[in-house]
Chain A
Amino acid sequence: MKPSLLFDFTVDKSSHTVFVKREFDAALPLVWQAFTDQEVLDRWWAPKPWLSKTKYMKFEEGGRRFYAMCGPEGEEHWSVQDFTAISPKKHFQFHDAFTDKEENINPDMPGSDWHLDFSETGGRTTVSIAIKHRSLADLEQIIQMGFKEGFTMTLDELERLLDKLAKEKKEG
């Protein structure tokens, strides 16, 4: 068996940044395609049982991806990614913002800046992602939302926690 693929996940609260690093057992052009081609992206971007649906994607500087995360209960969370810089097969960055389904940006929801770096060694490709938020409060809101999206795939214990959180909000 091949050695396991590197996976690093760290949250730096002082810079409001999430760092995700992952190695893939594939050549760089393929991994690059998986991150930049809308058809391929939709096959993996949403954690199960959520689905990613890209309405359109113009992968170029100044271009945009407009997509939704669709939940098992029919929920739709729309977002845009505005591509701000692209160096083919090396790096790209975008600004991420939540929108409604008419593509209007929701100013109350935290946006974030994403930097993605790609490199290949020995047939394996490493992708380093830095997701920078405006403030720690924004980051925490995102973590909380991520938690909710991940909720359907998790354990009863987490259901208990969510109930608790809902109660706290009511009492607050």
Chain B
Amino acid sequence: MVKLAIEHLTKRYWRGAREVLALSDVCLSVEDGEFLAIVGPSGCGKTTMLNIVAGLLPYEQGVVSIDGQCVQGPGIDRAVVFQHSSLLPWRTIAGNVRYGMELQKRFNKERMLERTEYFIKLVGLAGFERHYPSELSGGMQQRVNLARALAADPKVLLMDEPFAALDAQTREFMQAELLKIWAQAQKTVMFITHQINEAIYLADRVVVMSARPGRVKDVFRIPFGRPRTLHLKRDPQFLEIEDAIWQLVEEKPERIGMVV
């Protein structure tokens, strides 16, 4: 069953006097419960696409729909995990996890308290409820960000390069953690990244996009079962897929590997 459908999505915007074609006739769909990753060089419009799906950007051409409902603006059926943790610095961890639910007003007080506690535990931050974000490492802040999104109980979880700002080691830990959490939370995920091996490791399918204008180049079905361990990244078949995606991506490797 298709959860999220993007059909013939085209997005233009103006940069000064120049019109830029950010997305050109993008078509893709995410199945219910599927983990879909989107990779592409910087400037391929993948973040623009996520912002449109999140309802943060308007679009003029094409259709974006969740469960057949056309997306117009932000909604309680979606939640976003941003690249920067975007936590309220004056709120404690518990206060931040509650924040999304508070804004959406879907749950009563008791339910919010329960869910806050549950999701803090789920992301492995039990005991840190009363800490402030500035007291946490980057990896822990992204856990809070994830807990905040999951606590709002979205149908689709949108993740915008959530681990891009982390160091390589923390990043690997977080990828493995995300898979564990995802297995428990049972959510449909659209995950944006510019790291190809991150996409293959996490996703059921990987969508490869090209730059200027952004469009879908190819879609790879990842054949590995779950649960997956980090050893998978050294599996010959894994490396083969990684190679194939590398060759599809037009930009030079140095540019793509760059952390934006």
Partners in one complex: no
Residues of B within 8 A of A (CB): none
Residues of A within 8 A of B (CB): none
